Amino acid sequence: MTTKKMSAENETCPAQALLKMLSGKWKPEIFRLATKGPLRFSSLLREVAGSNKQSLSVALKELEEAKLLQKVIIREKPLHIEYNLTENGKSLIPIFEQLESLG
């Protein structure tokens, strides 16, 4: 099998697609925290040890683009933003629970 053919097969593999969506330094931890309920950016900065505003913003945006997180603007004073799991994100919780049970 050629390398070109193998990479084309990997692009259609659901497991590869999932790993690509969640790959990154902070994404698995953000996802884990999101399974517990809505997240605010400031609380993520405190809870995700070693993260910074820029890297956290990039990871959140990529999780939104992957349709695993939804950004919700709360229009009350003070204005704030929360991140919630989408239905796609919630569907992955059993997979994460199984992985957690292996460790």
- Has residue 9 been placed in a domain? no
pLDDT range class, residue 72, cuts 50, 70, 90: very high
Q: Residue 60 sits in which domain range?
A: 25-102
CATH classification at residue 75: 1.10.10.10
pTM, two decimal places: 0.80
- Has residue 62 been placed in a domain? yes
What is the rounded average pLDDT of the residues 19-40? 90
Residue from 89, 53, 95 nearest 70 by CA:
89
Q: Is the confidence at residue 12, as pLDDT, over 80?
A: no
Q: What six digits make up the tokens of 45?
A: 């900065």
Which tens digit of pLDDT belongs to each residue from 39-62? Answer: 999 999 999 989 999 999 999 999
- Has residue 8 been placed in a domain? no
Sign of the dihedral defined by the CA atoms of residues 53, 55, 56, 57, in that order: positive
- Has residue 38 been placed in a domain? yes
- Has residue 16 been placed in a domain? no
Q: How many structural domains compose the chain?
A: 1
* Per-residue burial over 43-57, b = 16 or more CB atoms within 10 Å of its CB, e = otherwise: ebeeebeebeeeebe
* Distance, CA of 34 to chain centre: 8
DSSP per residue, 47-64: HSTT--HHHHHHHHHHHH
- Has residue 11 been placed in a domain? no
